[in-house]
Amino acid sequence: MKKSLTQLSDGRELIFYDIDDSAVRDAVDRRTLQPVPRGSETRYDPLHADWMVVAAHRQNRTFHPPADECPLCPSDAGRYSEIPAGDYDVVVFENRFPALAGEPTPKGRPGGRCEVICFSSDHDRSFAQLPASQAALVLEAWADRTTELYQRDDIEQVFLFEDRGEERTLVHPHGQIYGYPFVVPRVARVLESALKHRARTNRNIFDDLVARECAESVRLVLETEHWVAFVPYTARWPYEVHLYPRQRVADLGALAGPARDEFPVVYQEVLRRFDALFDGSASPTPYISAWLQAPRRVGRDEFALHLEVFTARRSATKVKHLAGSEHVMGVSINEISPEQAAARLRALGEGQGLTSHA
């Protein structure tokens, strides 16, 4: 992998990740851009003991441009995009409309950082369709960004995710990287549970969770020498799969060796099964895929890196909408049992060469 750093015309950082070590990246952003807005603010809610972000400047961000105006496609002689190059493998750049602004605010904490990661220069290619070498390069970029952002004093939590679906976001294959200036509420709650479990059993809660799923096997989707993928016992979405490395690590920077090498094969297989779920749909399966990592300073000995991928689609024509119980009271209701979902996802992988369990 070769990493090349440059800047866009408004001063934002852009990073090329190339498979070819001899790649030369010397293109210049020829646009004239206004400075990036820095108006977001983080606010603490003492009633619910969590954080939220106010980012009013994002009201005017780019939304559903036509394919020939996609800001994530390579630039050409007639049109300049966010990537000042005619082609690329993987690119990361600072978001032009960041939810987390990156500068101190009068009332809130420092704003953190928001980045965009483009998985491919091909506008119509999904992550599941990437060549193995390019999927591995994305993993290298994720790990590199995690390690680098955790070296910043103003960032406590790094979150990497892909929100795929033409109804929700840009169609171009991409994800986002958030560097929060606080430990996010969900991870804080999980760490609290992990510490209580440790005090009660002297065991790690994630190790016990994975062991239970492997022992019961009914919710397993697939497993390999170094990874386990299953529908969780308390899945909140119609189809939801969690991927864990068998050897527990805190974050992507610590994921190494065979587990790192094997991940793209496992993950792309899970995504292919998601895409095969709804053959009657006119569009690919929308999903959110998210890496959960340990925070920078706390809980690193107890947390387990894992990836969660889920879809709100229940069938080719039906979508799960959150009801009042879920929106207001936080009590999830799932219309498909986790065991049924796992059986369906296992069946879609028959004959693929990866171990699935009945």
Known catalytic residue: 174? yes
| Burial class of 200 by CB neighbour count within 10 A (0 to 12, 13 to 18, 19+) | exposed
- Cβ within 8 Å of residue 329, ≥6 positions away: none
Burial class of 287 by CB neighbour count within 10 A (0 to 12, 13 to 18, 19+): buried
Residues 242, 352, 345, 310: is their CA dihedral positive or negative?
Answer: positive
Q: How far is CA 1 from CA 89, 219, 303, in A?
A: 10, 37, 29
Query: Letter for the amino acid at 219?
Result: R
Question: CA-CA distance, 9 to 339, in Å (whole number)?
Answer: 51
Annotated catalytic residue: which of 48, 64, 174, 306?
174
φ/ψ region of 176 (left if φ > 0, alpha if ψ in -120 to 50, else beta) reads: beta
Structure-block tokens of residue 157: 């939590």
Q: Rounded to the nearest 5 degrees, what angle is found at the Cα of 288, between the Cα atoms of 285 and 289?
A: 115
**292: helix, strand or coil:** strand
List of residues 6+ apart from 129 with CB closer than 8 A: none
Angle at 83 between CA 30 and CA 263, to 5 degrees: 165
For residue 51 the two structure tokens come to 């954080």
Residues with a known catalytic role = 174
